[in-house]
Amino acid sequence: MKSRYITAIDIGSSKTAAIVGENTATGIRIIAYSEVPSEGVVRGEVIKSQKVANAVSAVLQDVREQLQSVPEADSYRIRKVYANISGQNIRCVPGTVHRERQDPDSSITKEEINSMLDEMYQMKAEPSEQVLYVAPQCYNVDEHMGETDPEDMDGQEIDGEYKVFIGKASAVNHCKSAFDRINLDVKDLILTPIASGAALLTEDEKELGSVLVDIGAGTTGVLIYQADILRYAAVIPFGGDSVTEDISQTCSISRKNAEQLKIQKGTCISEFAKDTVLTIKESGVTVKGIPSKQLSSAIEARVCEILATVRHIIEISGFKNKLRSRAVLTGGSTNLPLIQLLAKNILGMDVRIGFPDSNVITGNSVETVFRPQASTAVGLILEGFRLEELSDDNDGYDIYEAPDTPKEVPGELFPDTEGTAAGAPGNGQPSRIGQTPKKKSRNPWESFRSLFDTTEEDNEA
């Protein structure tokens, strides 16, 4: 029996959120959600685990209180959670596995396919790197090329082609440490872009080819789907906080005032900004005037840089000419006026703003999750239920406890995951792939090139 409820933690640069989902007869319902400002997270990576642990404790406490008013869920005990992992050093590279089959007359089994996937997770990496996720691309069985489902096929040889997502082992360890400090068990660490994609991309978008752009506070995640297959993913090392910092420096104001101006008065296209002066007051006294066009110019410059980098990622992915759907933008920065128009002009494709809706969760879910900022959290719940459906057993899952069978609950909750990727058959050993990041150069793309390793074959795909 699979879990009726799942809890997930979204750790971001600007906020930490806890979310609880219920598997109902009509779909996934979000029954509790809470968020607090993050501390100890820089560009999506945990650097102060105790501060992160404190934030997780705070949101879980609020979520537990919310559950007390939900019929039947008041006796649900949070014992394990799903969590996201991000960071500016996550990158995508190709990988292959070749097998000579001992019995070519027998059909290929699911166990063989899973064994090949497992081998990719066990690939050797640099000591500082770890395999986070492996996405199967296709299989070649003898002369049959590009098969997406080789199960039950007959053949002497089978080759699997994969996209391997790797990151810093320290990022996994620091994330793990935060949960260890409050005795919480982690069911799985799921890449942030993959979680957001689960909540936002439609089946048609995945089939026709689309790109998800998740503009977070510290980083921007990019995810490319085509033919229902995850083809590419990358993380850009700047996001909404970079916009705020640019406003602060350009207008010579504090980050607090810069953030308020961005949210309340900012726009992504300076040409459409009003020809007015915005006043900044302290204790009721005007201390500075900022021209609206100056504010919008600072926002436009950084957002253009982010979107231009997204365009570059699409180009080097090898799938630029295979994306027949659209770009889906999400994250807090998508609330900036005119960002959809700017993105359409820079990316050269249709653009929509994505947020969780009644197509992925039930309409009676808590209202606070129907917005772009909650996309990752909702996606973690959806991925969690999907992974449990794929699991062969219920060992270690959160179990619904009837009121007449209470159990003593630990003060806090969470175990360790040694880099187990979402959907991985087993733990991934540090895998060897990639190069040492290159030093900065004056070329605006050079500082990101090491994040987007690719090959000629990929670009010709």
Kindly report, residue by residue over 277-331, the tens digit of the pLDDT: 999 887 777 778 999 999 999 999 999 999 999 999 999 999 999 999 999 999 9
The answer on 337 and 239 residing in a single domain is yes
Tell me the average pLDDT of the chain: 85
342, 358, 374: which is the final residue of a domain?
358
The answer on 255 and 148 residing in a single domain is no
436: left (phi over 0), alpha (psi -120 to 50) or beta: beta
Q: How confident is the model at residue 79 (pLDDT cuts 50, 70, 90)?
A: confident
The confidence score (pLDDT) of residue 392 equals 52
Helices 169-180 and 49-67 meet at what angle, rounded to 10?
A: 50
The confidence score (pLDDT) of residue 34 equals 98
Q: Extract the runs of DSSP E, i.e. beta strands, from 154-237.
A: 157-168, 185-191, 210-215, 220-226, 229-236
Q: Is the pLDDT of residue 256 over 90?
A: yes
d(CA 40, CA 50): 8
The confidence score (pLDDT) of residue 87 equals 81
Residue 151 lies in a domain: yes
Q: How do beta strands 327-330 and 351-353 pair? A: parallel
The answer on 284 and 162 residing in a single domain is no
Q: How confident is the model at residue 74 (pLDDT cuts 50, 70, 90)?
A: confident
The answer on 233 and 128 residing in a single domain is no
Q: How confident is the model at residue 251 (pLDDT cuts 50, 70, 90)?
A: very high
Residue 315 lies in a domain: yes
The confidence score (pLDDT) of residue 430 equals 30
Average of per-residue pLDDT across 167-174: 92
The confidence score (pLDDT) of residue 421 equals 34
358, 392, 407: which is the final residue of a domain?
358
Residue 136 lies in a domain: yes
Q: Is the pLDDT of residue 123 over 80?
A: yes
Q: What percent of the chain has pLDDT over 70?
A: 84
DSSP labels, 96-115: EEEEE-S-TTSBPPHHHHHH
The answer on 332 and 221 residing in a single domain is yes
> Tokens 């090392």 map to which residue?
237
d(CA 312, CA 264): 30
Specify the CATH number for the domain of residue 127: 3.30.1490.110
Find all residues with CB under 8 Å of 160, minimum gap 6, and list them.
Answer: 96, 97, 99, 113, 116, 117, 120, 136, 138, 139
The confidence score (pLDDT) of residue 407 equals 32
Residue 96 phi, psi dihedral angles, 5° rounding: -135, 155
Residue 113 lies in a domain: yes
Residue 173 lies in a domain: no
Average of per-residue pLDDT across 111-132: 90
The confidence score (pLDDT) of residue 205 equals 97
The confidence score (pLDDT) of residue 181 equals 96
325, 358, 391: which is the final residue of a domain?
358
The confidence score (pLDDT) of residue 241 equals 95
H or E segment at 409?
A: none
The answer on 320 and 231 residing in a single domain is yes
d(CA 314, CA 321): 9
Kindly report, residue by residue over 93-103, the tens digit of the pLDDT: 899 999 999 99
Residue 59 lies in a domain: no
The answer on 271 and 145 residing in a single domain is no
Q: How confident is the model at residue 271 (pLDDT cuts 50, 70, 90)?
A: very high
The answer on 451 and 308 residing in a single domain is no
DSSP code of 136? Answer: E
The answer on 155 and 294 residing in a single domain is no
Q: How do beta strands 27-37 and 129-141 pair? A: unpaired
Q: How confident is the model at residue 80 (pLDDT cuts 50, 70, 90)?
A: very high
The confidence score (pLDDT) of residue 2 equals 67
Q: Is the pLDDT of residue 449 over 50?
A: no
The answer on 293 and 210 residing in a single domain is yes
Q: Is the pLDDT of residue 425 over 50?
A: no
The answer on 344 and 444 residing in a single domain is no
Residue 117 lies in a domain: yes
- How many domains does the chain fold into? 2
Average of per-residue pLDDT across 189-203: 95
The answer on 291 and 221 residing in a single domain is yes
Kindly report, residue by residue over 326-384, the tens digit of the pLDDT: 999 999 999 999 999 999 999 999 999 999 999 999 999 999 999 999 999 999 999 99
Residue 34 lies in a domain: no
Average of per-residue pLDDT across 63-73: 93
Q: How confident is the model at residue 162 (pLDDT cuts 50, 70, 90)?
A: very high
Specify the CATH number for the domain of residue 347: 3.30.420.40
The domain in which residue 254 lies consists of: 203-358
Residue 458 phi, psi dihedral angles, 5° rounding: -65, -45
